[in-house]
């Protein structure tokens, strides 16, 4: 189930190729709005219920859900832009960078200590990004935006009392009024791409929510039935598939600079995976 979820997420570039040059803000707004019924359907299918009284009573978690939702929107914006503007490789790099960003944020804000593999991975990640900056003269903003925003999102989620699906639903519900207001403003202003498009394009905008959120149901079921170590190791199916699609199918440029940059980051992730697997499966000492 976990592998299926990551495969589905990894294949999403094929969907976004149907809407090249999409208006990112309008698609983001549609994705927020339609995330609510999609998540409610997922919860119905897996037999999960939401206790509104408990949710409304926890104001701290509600505020954190709003903050987490804002960081998710930033990550989504970078992701949608990359998917619809021929930069799938940048999205793949963002997903590979994300675990390293999470490690760094844990050290900076949660006073977590790094083992040698994690420390080496962070250094290698910095070298990988720095290599691109040195040769291209600019930061890979889309990749960093995705990785850092999603890293903050994951850190904030640690302090939310709701379960994962409930918090996702609350995040979408809190931001939906802003999304509706934005779409109405664009419609009234006469500058809306969505309302001026044909019904097929409108449907593709709307379905961007279930296409990317439906695997959440599979992922949630998987997490409850296997270890986080296993899930952590197979999560790289998603960016690996996106990387393959960008190079083999979409013809994006993968030059020597990007090869070295990815190589640094892949080496760091490999060290973390090997250390994680070793810590999980090594024989425990008897006392």
Out of 42-51, 80-89, 139-148, 198-207, pick the least confident. Answer: 42-51
Domain count, the chain: 1
Confidence of residue 61 (pLDDT cuts 50, 70, 90): very high
Tokens of 175: 């931001």
284 located within any domain: no
What pTM does this model have? 0.85
Cβ atoms of 219 and 5 within 8 Å: the answer is: yes
Cβ atoms of 165 and 48 within 8 Å: the answer is: yes
What is the spatial distance between Cα 158 and Cα 162, in angstroms, rounded to a whole number? Answer: 10
pLDDT digits (tens, 9 = 90+) for 96-132: 888 788 778 887 887 777 788 888 888 888 898 888 8
Q: Give mean pLDDT, residues 24-32.
A: 93
280 located within any domain: no
Confidence of residue 27 (pLDDT cuts 50, 70, 90): very high
174 located within any domain: yes
Average pLDDT, the chain: 85
78 located within any domain: yes
Out of 130-139, 144-153, 195-204, pick the least confident. Answer: 130-139
Burial class (CB in 10 A: 0-12, 13-18, 19+), 134: exposed
186 located within any domain: yes
Cβ atoms of 27 and 80 within 8 Å: the answer is: yes
Tokens of 156: 């904030």
pLDDT digits (tens, 9 = 90+) for 212-238: 887 876 776 666 666 655 666 677 788
**N-to-C CA span, the chain:** 37
What is the spatial distance between Cα 4 and Cα 220, in angstroms, rounded to a whole number? Answer: 12
User: What's the domain range around 82?
Assistant: 2-12+22-274
* Secondary structure of 99-112 as H, E, C letters: HHHHHHHHHHHHCC
């Amino acid at each position: 189930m976990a592998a299926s979820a990551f495969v589905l997420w990894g294949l999403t570039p094929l969907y976004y190729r149907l809407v090249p040059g999409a208006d990112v803000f309008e698609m983001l707004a549609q994705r927020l709005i339609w995330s609510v019924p999609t998540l409610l359907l997922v919860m119905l299918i897996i037999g999960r219920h939401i206790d509104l009284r408990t949710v409304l009573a926890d104001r701290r978690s509600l505020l954190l859900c709003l903050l987490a939702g804002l960081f998710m929107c930033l990550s989504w914006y970078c992701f949608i832009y990359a998917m619809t503007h021929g930069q799938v490789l940048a999205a793949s790099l963002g997903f590979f960078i994300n675990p390293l960003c999470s490690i760094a944020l844990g050290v900076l804000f949660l006073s977590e200590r790094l083992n040698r593999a994690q420390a080496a991975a962070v250094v290698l990640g910095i070298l990988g990004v720095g290599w691109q900056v040195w040769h291209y003269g600019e930061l890979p903003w889309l990749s960093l935006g995705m990785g850092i925003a999603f890293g903050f999102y994951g850190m904030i989620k640690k302090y939310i009392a709701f379960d994962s699906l409930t918090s996702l639903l609350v995040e979408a519900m809190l931001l939906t009024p802003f999304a509706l207001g934005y779409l109405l403003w664009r419609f009234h202003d006469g500058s809306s791409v969505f309302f001026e498009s044909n019904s097929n394009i409108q449907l593709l905008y709307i379905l961007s929510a279930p296409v990317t959120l439906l695997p959440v149901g599979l992922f949630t079921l998987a997490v409850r039935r296997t270890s986080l170590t296993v899930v952590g190791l197979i999560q790289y199916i998603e960016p690996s598939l996106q990387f393959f699609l960008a190079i083999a199918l979409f013809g994006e440029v993968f030059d020597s600079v990007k090869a070295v940059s990815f190589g640094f980051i892949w080496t760091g992730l490999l060290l973390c995976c090997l250390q994680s697997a070793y810590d999980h499966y090594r024989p425990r000492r008897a006392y």
